[in-house]
Amino acid sequence: MAQAEKTCDVLVIGSGGAGMCATVSATEAGAATIVVTKSKLGASNTSRAQGGIQAAIGEDDTTESHFEDTFAAGHDDGRPELVRTLTEAGPEAIEWLDRVGVDFSRDEGQLRILRCGGASRPRLLQAGERTGAEMVQALRAAVRASSADVWESSSLQSLEPEGEDWLAAIQTKGANAPRHVLARSVVLAAGGGLRGEADALGVGSTNHPDATPEVLRSAIELGAKAEHLDSWQRHPTGSVWPEPLSGYALPETTRSYGATLHDASGDRFVDELAPRDVVAQAIIDVVDEGRGVAAPNGQQGVWLDTAAIDREHGAGFTADRLAYVHGRYGKAGVDITAERVLVYPVLHYRNGGLLIDINASTSLPGIFAAGEITGGVHGTNRLMGNSLLDTVVFGRIAGRSAAEASR
Protein backbone atom coordinates (compact mmCIF):
# COMPACT_ATOMS: atom_id res chain seq x y z
CA MET A 1 0.00 0.00 0.00
CA ALA A 2 1.26 3.48 -0.92
CA GLN A 3 2.52 5.74 1.83
CA ALA A 4 0.67 8.96 2.53
CA GLU A 5 2.55 12.12 1.64
CA LYS A 6 -0.07 14.33 3.28
CA THR A 7 -2.57 13.91 6.10
CA CYS A 8 -5.73 15.85 6.89
CA ASP A 9 -8.84 15.67 9.01
CA VAL A 10 -11.29 16.15 6.13
CA LEU A 11 -10.76 15.55 2.42
CA VAL A 12 -13.42 17.13 0.18
CA ILE A 13 -13.76 15.81 -3.38
CA GLY A 14 -15.45 18.37 -5.63
CA SER A 15 -15.75 22.14 -5.45
CA GLY A 16 -19.25 22.99 -6.60
CA GLY A 17 -21.75 24.46 -4.18
CA ALA A 18 -21.86 21.37 -1.96
CA GLY A 19 -18.09 20.91 -1.89
CA MET A 20 -17.39 24.54 -1.05
CA CYS A 21 -20.10 24.66 1.62
CA ALA A 22 -18.63 21.48 3.14
CA THR A 23 -15.14 22.96 3.05
CA VAL A 24 -16.17 26.18 4.77
CA SER A 25 -18.13 24.30 7.43
CA ALA A 26 -15.35 21.79 8.08
CA THR A 27 -12.75 24.52 8.55
CA GLU A 28 -15.11 26.52 10.79
CA ALA A 29 -15.34 23.38 12.93
CA GLY A 30 -11.57 23.39 13.26
CA ALA A 31 -10.76 20.54 10.85
CA ALA A 32 -7.60 20.58 8.73
CA THR A 33 -9.21 20.35 5.30
CA ILE A 34 -8.10 19.70 1.73
CA VAL A 35 -10.49 20.32 -1.16
CA VAL A 36 -9.75 18.67 -4.50
CA THR A 37 -11.22 19.96 -7.76
CA LYS A 38 -10.76 18.86 -11.37
CA SER A 39 -10.15 22.31 -12.76
CA LYS A 40 -10.69 25.66 -11.03
CA LEU A 41 -12.29 26.13 -7.64
CA GLY A 42 -16.04 26.51 -8.20
CA ALA A 43 -16.11 25.17 -11.78
CA SER A 44 -19.26 23.08 -11.57
CA ASN A 45 -22.92 22.63 -12.37
CA THR A 46 -23.67 25.05 -9.53
CA SER A 47 -22.06 27.84 -11.52
CA ARG A 48 -24.53 27.19 -14.36
CA ALA A 49 -27.70 27.27 -12.25
CA GLN A 50 -29.71 30.27 -13.39
CA GLY A 51 -33.20 30.30 -11.95
CA GLY A 52 -32.79 30.61 -8.20
CA ILE A 53 -32.96 28.88 -4.84
CA GLN A 54 -36.08 27.81 -2.97
CA ALA A 55 -36.70 28.53 0.71
CA ALA A 56 -39.90 29.14 2.64
CA ILE A 57 -39.34 32.70 3.80
CA GLY A 58 -42.46 34.40 2.38
CA GLU A 59 -45.06 35.74 4.81
CA ASP A 60 -47.69 33.27 3.57
CA ASP A 61 -45.27 30.35 3.26
CA THR A 62 -44.20 27.58 5.63
CA THR A 63 -41.49 24.96 5.66
CA GLU A 64 -44.26 22.37 5.92
CA SER A 65 -45.71 23.57 2.61
CA HIS A 66 -42.23 23.41 1.07
CA PHE A 67 -41.89 19.86 2.38
CA GLU A 68 -45.25 18.84 0.92
CA ASP A 69 -44.47 20.34 -2.50
CA THR A 70 -41.03 18.73 -2.61
CA PHE A 71 -42.23 15.32 -1.50
CA ALA A 72 -45.15 15.33 -3.95
CA ALA A 73 -43.01 16.49 -6.89
CA GLY A 74 -40.61 13.61 -6.15
CA HIS A 75 -43.51 11.17 -6.56
CA ASP A 76 -43.38 10.37 -2.83
CA ASP A 77 -40.06 8.61 -3.50
CA GLY A 78 -37.92 10.96 -1.44
CA ARG A 79 -36.87 9.95 2.05
CA PRO A 80 -39.13 12.01 4.33
CA GLU A 81 -36.42 12.69 6.90
CA LEU A 82 -34.10 14.06 4.19
CA VAL A 83 -36.81 16.15 2.54
CA ARG A 84 -37.75 17.59 5.93
CA THR A 85 -34.11 18.36 6.76
CA LEU A 86 -33.78 20.15 3.41
CA THR A 87 -36.91 22.25 3.68
CA GLU A 88 -36.75 23.11 7.38
CA ALA A 89 -33.18 24.37 6.96
CA GLY A 90 -34.14 26.60 4.01
CA PRO A 91 -34.65 29.93 5.80
CA GLU A 92 -31.41 29.64 7.79
CA ALA A 93 -29.53 28.64 4.61
CA ILE A 94 -30.61 31.91 2.98
CA GLU A 95 -29.45 33.88 6.03
CA TRP A 96 -26.08 32.10 5.87
CA LEU A 97 -25.67 32.79 2.16
CA ASP A 98 -26.47 36.44 2.80
CA ARG A 99 -23.75 36.52 5.46
CA VAL A 100 -21.13 35.03 3.13
CA GLY A 101 -21.92 37.66 0.51
CA VAL A 102 -24.67 36.44 -1.85
CA ASP A 103 -26.56 39.54 -2.99
CA PHE A 104 -30.18 38.44 -3.37
CA SER A 105 -32.41 40.41 -5.73
CA ARG A 106 -34.86 42.85 -4.20
CA ASP A 107 -37.77 44.90 -5.47
CA GLU A 108 -38.35 48.14 -3.58
CA GLY A 109 -36.19 46.84 -0.77
CA GLN A 110 -38.03 43.54 -0.40
CA LEU A 111 -36.58 40.19 -1.42
CA ARG A 112 -37.86 39.12 -4.82
CA ILE A 113 -39.77 35.86 -4.44
CA LEU A 114 -41.24 34.07 -7.46
CA ARG A 115 -43.39 31.00 -7.95
CA CYS A 116 -41.80 28.18 -9.93
CA GLY A 117 -43.01 24.87 -11.33
CA GLY A 118 -44.44 22.46 -8.77
CA ALA A 119 -44.52 25.04 -5.97
CA SER A 120 -47.86 25.87 -4.37
CA ARG A 121 -46.80 29.43 -3.63
CA PRO A 122 -43.95 31.87 -4.41
CA ARG A 123 -40.75 30.52 -2.87
CA LEU A 124 -37.94 31.13 -5.36
CA LEU A 125 -35.24 33.66 -4.47
CA GLN A 126 -32.79 35.02 -7.01
CA ALA A 127 -29.39 36.66 -7.04
CA GLY A 128 -29.66 38.36 -10.39
CA GLU A 129 -30.33 35.99 -13.27
CA ARG A 130 -27.53 33.57 -12.52
CA THR A 131 -28.03 32.70 -8.89
CA GLY A 132 -25.65 29.74 -9.02
CA ALA A 133 -22.81 31.86 -10.38
CA GLU A 134 -23.36 34.48 -7.67
CA MET A 135 -23.31 31.75 -5.02
CA VAL A 136 -20.09 30.32 -6.44
CA GLN A 137 -18.43 33.72 -6.36
CA ALA A 138 -19.30 34.22 -2.69
CA LEU A 139 -18.46 30.66 -1.66
CA ARG A 140 -15.16 30.72 -3.54
CA ALA A 141 -14.15 33.81 -1.58
CA ALA A 142 -15.17 32.08 1.67
CA VAL A 143 -13.08 29.02 0.83
CA ARG A 144 -10.08 31.17 -0.10
CA ALA A 145 -10.43 33.04 3.19
CA SER A 146 -10.59 29.80 5.17
CA SER A 147 -7.71 27.60 6.29
CA ALA A 148 -8.49 24.99 3.62
CA ASP A 149 -5.77 23.73 1.29
CA VAL A 150 -7.15 23.96 -2.27
CA TRP A 151 -5.84 21.51 -4.89
CA GLU A 152 -6.95 22.66 -8.33
CA SER A 153 -6.55 20.74 -11.60
CA SER A 154 -6.58 17.58 -9.50
CA SER A 155 -8.78 14.50 -9.51
CA LEU A 156 -9.42 11.48 -7.35
CA GLN A 157 -7.78 8.39 -8.82
CA SER A 158 -8.53 5.90 -6.04
CA LEU A 159 -9.90 5.71 -2.55
CA GLU A 160 -9.36 2.83 -0.13
CA PRO A 161 -9.73 2.24 3.59
CA GLU A 162 -6.67 2.17 5.80
CA GLY A 163 -7.67 1.23 9.31
CA GLU A 164 -10.24 3.79 10.42
CA ASP A 165 -8.95 6.32 7.87
CA TRP A 166 -9.11 6.65 4.09
CA LEU A 167 -6.17 6.73 1.69
CA ALA A 168 -6.78 8.74 -1.46
CA ALA A 169 -4.61 8.95 -4.57
CA ILE A 170 -4.91 12.43 -6.09
CA GLN A 171 -3.57 13.11 -9.57
CA THR A 172 -2.69 16.71 -10.36
CA LYS A 173 -2.51 17.72 -14.00
CA GLY A 174 1.09 17.71 -15.23
CA ALA A 175 2.42 15.70 -12.28
CA ASN A 176 4.29 12.48 -12.98
CA ALA A 177 2.55 10.51 -10.23
CA PRO A 178 -0.39 10.91 -7.86
CA ARG A 179 -0.05 12.26 -4.35
CA HIS A 180 -1.41 10.11 -1.54
CA VAL A 181 -3.50 11.69 1.21
CA LEU A 182 -4.53 10.00 4.43
CA ALA A 183 -7.80 11.50 5.63
CA ARG A 184 -9.76 10.83 8.79
CA SER A 185 -13.01 11.66 6.94
CA VAL A 186 -13.99 12.21 3.32
CA VAL A 187 -16.78 14.30 1.78
CA LEU A 188 -17.85 13.28 -1.73
CA ALA A 189 -19.35 16.27 -3.52
CA ALA A 190 -18.38 15.60 -7.13
CA GLY A 191 -21.87 15.82 -8.63
CA GLY A 192 -24.03 13.31 -10.44
CA GLY A 193 -21.85 13.02 -13.53
CA LEU A 194 -24.61 13.47 -16.10
CA ARG A 195 -22.36 15.19 -18.62
CA GLY A 196 -20.41 11.96 -18.92
CA GLU A 197 -23.63 9.95 -19.20
CA ALA A 198 -25.05 12.29 -21.84
CA ASP A 199 -21.88 12.18 -23.92
CA ALA A 200 -21.96 8.38 -23.82
CA LEU A 201 -25.60 8.41 -24.98
CA GLY A 202 -24.99 11.08 -27.62
CA VAL A 203 -27.67 13.42 -26.24
CA GLY A 204 -27.65 17.01 -25.07
CA SER A 205 -26.94 18.04 -21.48
CA THR A 206 -26.80 21.26 -19.50
CA ASN A 207 -23.98 19.93 -17.33
CA HIS A 208 -20.49 21.35 -16.87
CA PRO A 209 -17.75 19.46 -18.78
CA ASP A 210 -16.26 18.32 -15.44
CA ALA A 211 -19.51 16.55 -14.49
CA THR A 212 -18.41 12.97 -15.08
CA PRO A 213 -19.50 10.02 -12.90
CA GLU A 214 -16.26 8.30 -11.84
CA VAL A 215 -16.41 9.41 -8.19
CA LEU A 216 -19.99 8.19 -7.86
CA ARG A 217 -19.06 4.87 -9.44
CA SER A 218 -15.98 4.50 -7.23
CA ALA A 219 -18.06 4.95 -4.09
CA ILE A 220 -20.53 2.31 -5.25
CA GLU A 221 -17.66 -0.06 -6.02
CA LEU A 222 -16.44 0.47 -2.46
CA GLY A 223 -19.83 -0.70 -1.24
CA ALA A 224 -21.74 2.54 -0.71
CA LYS A 225 -25.49 2.09 -0.96
CA ALA A 226 -27.31 4.06 -3.63
CA GLU A 227 -30.85 4.51 -4.88
CA HIS A 228 -32.70 5.84 -7.93
CA LEU A 229 -29.46 5.98 -9.92
CA ASP A 230 -31.33 5.76 -13.22
CA SER A 231 -33.72 8.57 -12.39
CA TRP A 232 -32.58 11.48 -14.52
CA GLN A 233 -34.32 14.80 -14.88
CA ARG A 234 -34.71 16.61 -18.17
CA HIS A 235 -34.82 20.38 -18.25
CA PRO A 236 -37.98 21.09 -20.27
CA THR A 237 -36.79 24.10 -22.25
CA GLY A 238 -33.48 23.33 -23.88
CA SER A 239 -32.86 25.61 -26.85
CA VAL A 240 -33.19 23.95 -30.27
CA TRP A 241 -32.43 26.93 -32.52
CA PRO A 242 -30.33 28.90 -33.36
CA GLU A 243 -27.55 26.33 -33.50
CA PRO A 244 -25.00 28.30 -31.39
CA LEU A 245 -27.45 28.01 -28.48
CA SER A 246 -28.39 24.36 -29.04
CA GLY A 247 -28.89 22.69 -25.66
CA TYR A 248 -28.81 25.91 -23.64
CA ALA A 249 -31.54 25.71 -21.00
CA LEU A 250 -33.79 28.74 -20.77
CA PRO A 251 -34.38 29.22 -17.04
CA GLU A 252 -37.71 28.26 -15.55
CA THR A 253 -38.19 31.85 -14.51
CA THR A 254 -38.87 32.53 -18.19
CA ARG A 255 -42.12 30.60 -17.68
CA SER A 256 -42.63 32.07 -14.21
CA TYR A 257 -42.73 35.50 -15.85
CA GLY A 258 -45.33 34.37 -18.40
CA ALA A 259 -43.70 32.60 -21.38
CA THR A 260 -46.05 29.91 -22.73
CA LEU A 261 -45.55 26.65 -24.65
CA HIS A 262 -47.29 25.97 -27.97
CA ASP A 263 -47.40 23.20 -30.56
CA ALA A 264 -47.12 23.71 -34.32
CA SER A 265 -50.76 24.81 -34.49
CA GLY A 266 -50.23 27.40 -31.80
CA ASP A 267 -52.16 25.50 -29.13
CA ARG A 268 -50.99 25.45 -25.51
CA PHE A 269 -50.74 21.89 -24.24
CA VAL A 270 -49.48 21.94 -20.62
CA ASP A 271 -49.48 24.00 -17.45
CA GLU A 272 -46.13 25.71 -17.84
CA LEU A 273 -45.65 25.77 -14.06
CA ALA A 274 -46.27 22.07 -13.51
CA PRO A 275 -43.30 20.05 -12.14
CA ARG A 276 -40.41 19.70 -14.56
CA ASP A 277 -40.98 16.05 -15.42
CA VAL A 278 -44.60 16.80 -16.35
CA VAL A 279 -43.67 19.71 -18.62
CA ALA A 280 -40.77 17.83 -20.22
CA GLN A 281 -42.88 14.74 -20.93
CA ALA A 282 -45.67 16.87 -22.41
CA ILE A 283 -43.19 18.41 -24.87
CA ILE A 284 -41.80 14.99 -25.79
CA ASP A 285 -45.34 13.66 -26.33
CA VAL A 286 -46.33 16.58 -28.56
CA VAL A 287 -43.30 16.00 -30.78
CA ASP A 288 -43.86 12.22 -30.85
CA GLU A 289 -47.46 12.85 -31.93
CA GLY A 290 -46.29 14.88 -34.92
CA ARG A 291 -47.33 18.25 -33.50
CA GLY A 292 -43.81 19.58 -33.13
CA VAL A 293 -42.01 22.25 -35.12
CA ALA A 294 -38.93 21.50 -37.23
CA ALA A 295 -35.91 23.78 -36.94
CA PRO A 296 -33.91 24.58 -40.11
CA ASN A 297 -31.56 21.70 -39.25
CA GLY A 298 -34.48 19.29 -38.94
CA GLN A 299 -34.44 18.98 -35.16
CA GLN A 300 -37.92 18.99 -33.62
CA GLY A 301 -39.18 21.16 -30.81
CA VAL A 302 -42.11 23.28 -29.64
CA TRP A 303 -42.57 27.01 -29.40
CA LEU A 304 -41.76 28.88 -26.20
CA ASP A 305 -43.50 32.22 -26.58
CA THR A 306 -41.05 34.47 -24.77
CA ALA A 307 -42.65 37.55 -26.33
CA ALA A 308 -45.63 36.93 -24.04
CA ILE A 309 -43.57 38.24 -21.12
CA ASP A 310 -43.40 41.82 -22.35
CA ARG A 311 -46.99 41.61 -23.55
CA GLU A 312 -47.98 40.85 -19.95
CA HIS A 313 -45.56 43.07 -18.03
CA GLY A 314 -44.75 45.85 -20.48
CA ALA A 315 -41.90 46.68 -22.85
CA GLY A 316 -38.46 46.40 -21.28
CA PHE A 317 -39.41 43.86 -18.61
CA THR A 318 -37.65 40.96 -20.35
CA ALA A 319 -34.52 43.00 -21.06
CA ASP A 320 -34.41 43.93 -17.36
CA ARG A 321 -35.37 40.70 -15.57
CA LEU A 322 -33.93 38.27 -18.13
CA ALA A 323 -31.01 40.34 -19.38
CA TYR A 324 -28.63 37.37 -19.66
CA VAL A 325 -31.06 35.25 -21.71
CA HIS A 326 -32.07 38.27 -23.77
CA GLY A 327 -28.44 39.09 -24.46
CA ARG A 328 -27.44 35.53 -25.41
CA TYR A 329 -30.24 35.24 -27.93
CA GLY A 330 -29.62 38.76 -29.18
CA LYS A 331 -26.02 37.88 -30.00
CA ALA A 332 -27.34 34.91 -31.98
CA GLY A 333 -29.68 37.17 -33.95
CA VAL A 334 -32.93 36.42 -32.11
CA ASP A 335 -34.99 39.03 -30.26
CA ILE A 336 -36.90 37.02 -27.65
CA THR A 337 -39.17 40.00 -26.94
CA ALA A 338 -40.53 39.81 -30.49
CA GLU A 339 -39.99 36.17 -31.55
CA ARG A 340 -40.83 32.76 -30.19
CA VAL A 341 -38.00 30.27 -29.65
CA LEU A 342 -37.84 26.54 -30.28
CA VAL A 343 -37.22 24.29 -27.27
CA TYR A 344 -36.96 20.59 -26.43
CA PRO A 345 -35.95 18.82 -23.18
CA VAL A 346 -32.27 18.13 -22.43
CA LEU A 347 -30.64 16.02 -19.70
CA HIS A 348 -30.14 18.15 -16.63
CA TYR A 349 -29.89 16.40 -13.24
CA ARG A 350 -29.46 12.98 -11.66
CA ASN A 351 -32.22 12.64 -9.09
CA GLY A 352 -30.69 9.62 -7.36
CA GLY A 353 -27.25 8.77 -6.03
CA LEU A 354 -25.48 7.74 -2.85
CA LEU A 355 -27.84 7.12 0.02
CA ILE A 356 -27.23 9.45 2.97
CA ASP A 357 -28.83 10.05 6.35
CA ILE A 358 -29.69 13.39 7.96
CA ASN A 359 -26.03 13.78 8.97
CA ALA A 360 -24.92 13.35 5.33
CA SER A 361 -23.32 10.00 6.24
CA THR A 362 -23.15 7.35 3.54
CA SER A 363 -23.23 3.64 4.36
CA LEU A 364 -19.40 3.69 4.40
CA PRO A 365 -17.88 4.68 7.76
CA GLY A 366 -16.11 8.03 7.56
CA ILE A 367 -17.50 8.83 4.10
CA PHE A 368 -20.01 11.67 3.79
CA ALA A 369 -21.71 13.03 0.68
CA ALA A 370 -23.67 16.09 -0.43
CA GLY A 371 -25.22 17.58 -3.55
CA GLU A 372 -26.12 15.86 -6.79
CA ILE A 373 -24.01 12.80 -5.99
CA THR A 374 -26.59 11.84 -3.34
CA GLY A 375 -29.98 10.18 -3.51
CA GLY A 376 -33.11 10.32 -1.38
CA VAL A 377 -33.35 14.09 -1.05
CA HIS A 378 -35.45 14.74 -4.17
CA GLY A 379 -37.11 11.41 -4.86
CA THR A 380 -37.49 10.70 -8.57
CA ASN A 381 -38.09 14.28 -9.66
CA ARG A 382 -36.57 17.51 -8.38
CA LEU A 383 -38.20 20.88 -7.96
CA MET A 384 -36.29 23.72 -9.55
CA GLY A 385 -34.36 25.74 -6.98
CA ASN A 386 -34.10 22.82 -4.58
CA SER A 387 -30.74 21.76 -6.01
CA LEU A 388 -29.01 24.95 -4.87
CA LEU A 389 -30.69 24.62 -1.49
CA ASP A 390 -29.49 21.00 -1.31
CA THR A 391 -25.88 22.05 -1.91
CA VAL A 392 -26.02 24.52 0.98
CA VAL A 393 -28.01 22.50 3.51
CA PHE A 394 -26.35 19.13 3.05
CA GLY A 395 -22.99 20.59 2.07
CA ARG A 396 -22.79 22.39 5.41
CA ILE A 397 -24.05 19.32 7.27
CA ALA A 398 -21.48 17.09 5.53
CA GLY A 399 -18.63 19.43 6.44
CA ARG A 400 -19.66 19.61 10.08
CA SER A 401 -20.28 15.87 10.33
CA ALA A 402 -16.96 15.03 8.70
CA ALA A 403 -15.13 17.38 11.06
CA GLU A 404 -16.80 15.82 14.09
CA ALA A 405 -16.00 12.30 12.87
CA SER A 406 -12.34 13.20 12.40
CA ARG A 407 -11.81 14.00 16.08
Burial (CB < 10 A; 0-12, 13-18, 19+), residue 80, is exposed
Burial letters 280-301, b for 16+ CB under 10 A, else e = bbbbbebbeeebbbebeeebbb
**How open is the CA angle 201-227-209, to the nearest 5 degrees?**
40
What 3-state DSSP class applies to 349?
strand
Rounded alpha-carbon distances, angstroms, from residue 391 to 201, 203, 373: 27, 26, 10
Burial (CB < 10 A; 0-12, 13-18, 19+), residue 76, is exposed
Count the neighbouring beta carbons within 10 Å of the beta carbon of residue 64.
12
CA quadruple 150, 404, 402, 63: dihedral sign: negative
Among 79, 276, 350, 382, the active-site one is: 276
Count the neighbouring beta carbons within 10 Å of the beta carbon of residue 96.
17
Query: Residue 46 has what DSSP assignment?
Result: G
Count Cα neighbours of 1 within 13 Å in the Cβ-side half-sphere: 12
CA quadruple 376, 381, 386, 392: dihedral sign: positive
Residue pair 63/91 in contact (Cβ under 8 Å)? The answer is yes
Query: Residue 21 has what DSSP assignment?
Result: H
276 given a catalytic annotation: yes
Over its C-alpha atoms, the chain yields an Rg (Å, rounded) of 21
**How open is the CA angle 315-320-321, to the nearest 5 degrees?**
110
| Integer Cα distance of 91 and 84 in angstroms | 13
What is the Cα 332 distance to its own chain's centre? Answer: 26
| Integer Cα distance of 313 and 122 in angstroms | 18
User: Which of the residues are catalytic?
Assistant: 276
